[in-house]
Amino acid sequence: MNQLIEINSSEDILSKYKNTPIALLLEYHNLDKEFTDYTKAELLVGMCMDHRKHLHIPDNFSYIIRTGGANLRYSEFKVSYAISVGGIKHIALIGHNNCGMVNLASKKESFIEGLVSNGGWTSERAEEHFNNFAPMFEVGNAAEFVAVEAKRLRGKYPNITVAPLFYNVDNNKLYMIDE
């Protein structure tokens, strides 16, 4: 099981991320570090699409890809673009508590009912859609998922530093995940 590391000072940041844009993200968001002006993104943030999360960071500091559960498996071209064209060398993957992509099976009926009533779908089409895609987007434990996803991205992009982080929607703080 991965441990969450609370960031209450710069000293709490793991040494492998010190003096990187990942440390700056944590300092901006958690420690109210004074913003620096950026003309070019320093970081790619992969985070959940959840509406309860908002990062406290300067303008132009990062690219942000929002996907269910911070799952970048189906956004790799965008990741590659940020690395190749954008010159990004650091990625922060941010999972969070109470994530809707955890235990998707428990949401099947409301998913189907919502697509029928809100989207105008038939229940058969909505159920087929859920059955086809839910297994691809299920994340299980959110902290463990971003740690595994970080490891996968490190294998795909060996020159890129990838940090798994965790956002607590109850206190709006970021935590490091000690792998």
For the chain, the structural domain boundaries read: 3-102+140-178, 103-138
Q: Would you say residue 175 has pLDDT above 80?
A: yes
pLDDT tier at 1, thresholds 50, 70, 90: low
Average pLDDT of every residue of the chain = 95
DSSP state, 35?
A: P
What is residue 91's predicted lDDT score, i.e. its pLDDT? 98
* Per-residue confidence (pLDDT) for residue 130, from 0 to 100: 96
Contact, 150 vs 165, CB < 8 A? no
pTM over 0.75? The answer is yes
**Is 90 exceeded by the pLDDT of residue 100?**
no
Neighbour tally for 127: CB within 10 Å: 17
**Candidates 3.40.640.10, 3.30.500.10, 3.90.1150.10, 3.40.1050.10; CATH matching 3-102+140-178:** 3.40.1050.10
Q: Which two tokens stand for residue 56?
A: 């406290």
Three-state DSSP state, 92: strand
Q: Tell me which residue of 107, 99, 64 sits closest to 169, measured CA to CA.
A: 99
Rg (CA), the chain: 17
**Maximal CA-CA distance, the chain:** 55
- How remote is the C-alpha of 66 from its chain's centroid? 7
Q: H-helix or E-strand containing 123?
A: helix 123-137
**DSSP label at 95?**
E
Query: Does the pLDDT of residue 52 top 90, yes or no?
Result: no
| Eight-class DSSP state of 36 | P
Q: What percent of the chain has pLDDT over 90?
A: 84
State pLDDT tens for residues 118-172: 999 999 999 999 999 999 888 888 999 999 999 999 999 999 999 999 999 999 9
Higher pLDDT, 85 or 52: 85
CA neighbours within 13 Å on the CB side: how many for 151?
8
Single-letter amino acid code for the residue at 174: L
CB atoms within 10 A of CB 131: 11
Q: Could you tell me if 176 and 7 are in contact, meaning their C-beta atoms sit under 8 angstroms apart? A: yes
